[in-house]
Amino acid sequence: MGLFSGVIDPRERDRILCDSVIVPVTTNHLGEILNVGRATPVWNRAQRRAVTTRSPHCQWPGCQTIAAWCDIHPHQFREHGGDTSVANGVHLCRRHHVFLHQHRDWNSTFDHQHFRVFRADGTEVHPDAWHLAA
Ligand SMILES: [Zn+2]
Ligand SMILES: [Zn+2]
């Protein structure tokens, strides 16, 4: 078949792991994902509903993309002691979710209400200027 598993961009892999559990992932020789096996969402319906009630849209500063189109990003990664509790979940639209995972030198803070984003140089992304960031 010429297919093999396991070679995808690590940043993409992180993003995928962030919102789901996947076994296995099939990719082509370019590392593009061809097939994703049985995926079990980390966040159950009740949790998603709770996060949506708290934040009905993407929590990137200034972004109004509705929650139904968002991923839930655990602010503290499981590998770093975070969990999939509702308090730890941040709605991010696909664009901002991918962006955040592709910019490891950026920082974010989340106090269970406000998600704040800081560029690599330490300056904060403000709601009225978020579109200038990307
Ligand atoms: Zn994420
Ligand atoms: Zn967004």
- What confidence tens digit (pLDDT) does each residue in 24-54 have? 555 667 666 555 444 445 677 888 888 888 8
Task: Please report the pLDDT score of residue 40 as a whole number.
Answer: 47
Tokens for 59, please give them.
Answer: 């929590």
pLDDT over 70 percentage in the chain: 60
pLDDT grade for 3, boundaries at 50, 70 and 90: very low
Residue 58 has pLDDT above 70, yes or no: yes
- Which one of the ligands is nearest to 90 CA? 1
Q: How far apart are CA 106 and CA 120, in angstroms?
A: 5
10 Å Cβ neighbour count for 109?
Answer: 11
10 Å Cβ neighbour count for 31?
Answer: 12
Task: Please report the pLDDT score of residue 23 as a whole number.
Answer: 46
115 Cα–ligand 2 center, Å: 11
64 Cα–ligand 2 center, Å: 7
91-115 pLDDT, tens per residue? Answer: 999 999 989 988 989 999 988 778 9
- Which one of the ligands is nearest to 77 CA? 1
29 Cα–ligand 2 center, Å: 31
- Which one of the ligands is nearest to 17 CA? 1
Residue 82 has pLDDT above 80, yes or no: no
53 Cα–ligand 2 center, Å: 17
If one compares 2 and 98, the residue with the highest pLDDT of the two is 98
DSSP 8-state assignment for residue 101: H
Q: How far apart are CA 17 and CA 42, in angstroms?
A: 9
